[in-house]
A and B are shown apart, each in its own frame.
Chain A
């Protein structure tokens, strides 16, 4: 660093980035976008809510009926509230409250996971292979 080049400058960074880097970034970007599109495509509107504790499904509830359920997991209680076609965790005994911060879920395949309490709330759609139309 004898010369006084400004190493914060964009042109300096562009000098370091190799063609291999650019290819890698484009590939990862493509992977991300393709997986985003495919996963959103398979995703269906939610129909039912499944609540699992310690890997065992305890409840299968209708997403369109407003209700509130409290389950007891590994370290305490978790309260799941369903209203207006969406489910969310309103109370949890876990330390980090990630499940509460996840917020509302309403589409098939969306999940709320409380890792410390071993509670998994999943939205499920109708059974799979429900194609609108098949073109050839």
Chain B
């Protein structure tokens, strides 16, 4: 199928290359993070969202969504958890967090810096997963007793993710993107 000449090509080679780079980055962080032993099962820094933030800031919201969905699918394939409950939770949390961060970046990027956006994303990610666990998997309202701890640790982990992303964005922008 040939495209008409006047139609803008939305998927250029350069875009494809940059997307792949970010998916690769997200995948590596996702996998490395899953090998680090965690003191509590739900406590995870969420470093893979560095790739999401980079995609939002350096490319677009749709690119960020592609990065997250591909990262979760390929990452689960590599970890052997494709289509199990953990995969569903990762996918749902990732999509919700990316939507929240993308929308806030598009409409309120003057109000919130990357730190605010990242912390918001972390909170949305955690609460989405917690709600899904409570509503779909275990049907217990008691699951929400974890919510305060998740919200409080989200501030910390969101901050770390934002810091890493900020360092990367300020350097990458000059070279590749």
Residues of A within 8 A of B (CB): 1, 7-8, 13, 16-18, 20-21, 24-25, 28-29, 31-33, 35-36, 39, 43, 55, 96, 98, 101-102, 109-111, 113, 115-116, 120, 122
Contacts and interface: CB of A to CB of B under 8 A. Distances in A.
A8 B170 CA distance: 12
Contacts of A29: 152, 155
A15 to B, nearest CB: 10
Contacts of A20: 108, 111-113, 116
Contact of A21 (B86, B116, B147, B163): B116
Interface string B134-152: 0001111011110111011
A59 to B, nearest CB: 16
Given A16-B166, A18-B113, A20-B112, A113 B138 contact: yes
Contacts of A96: 41
A25 B142 CA distance: 26
A7 B142 contact: no
A115 B140 contact: no
Contacts of A98: 41
26 contacts: A1-B170, A8-B167, A16-B114, A18-B111, A20-B112, A20-B113, A21-B113, A21-B115, A24-B112, A24-B119, A25-B119, A28-B155, A29-B152, A33-B148, A35-B147, A36-B152, A39-B145, A55-B139, A109-B142, A109-B145, A111-B142, A113-B133, A113-B138, A116-B84, A120-B138, A122-B142
Contacts of A28: 119-120, 123, 151, 154-155
Nearest to A16: B113
Contacts of A8: 167
B135 to A, nearest CB: 13
A36 B144 CA distance: 10
A32 B139 CA distance: 23
A35 B142 CA distance: 13
Nearest to B114: A16
A113 B110 CA distance: 42
Interface in B86-113: 86, 108, 110-113
Contacts of B149: 32, 36
B143 A111 contact: yes
A43 B148 CA distance: 14
Contacts of B151: 28, 31-32, 35
A53 B32 CA distance: 33
Nearest to B84: A116
A103 to B, nearest CB: 10
A1 B170 CA distance: 8
A19 B154 CA distance: 19
Contacts of B108: 20
B155 A16 contact: no
A17 B115 contact: yes
Given A18-B116, A21-B113, A28-B119, A102 B142 contact: no
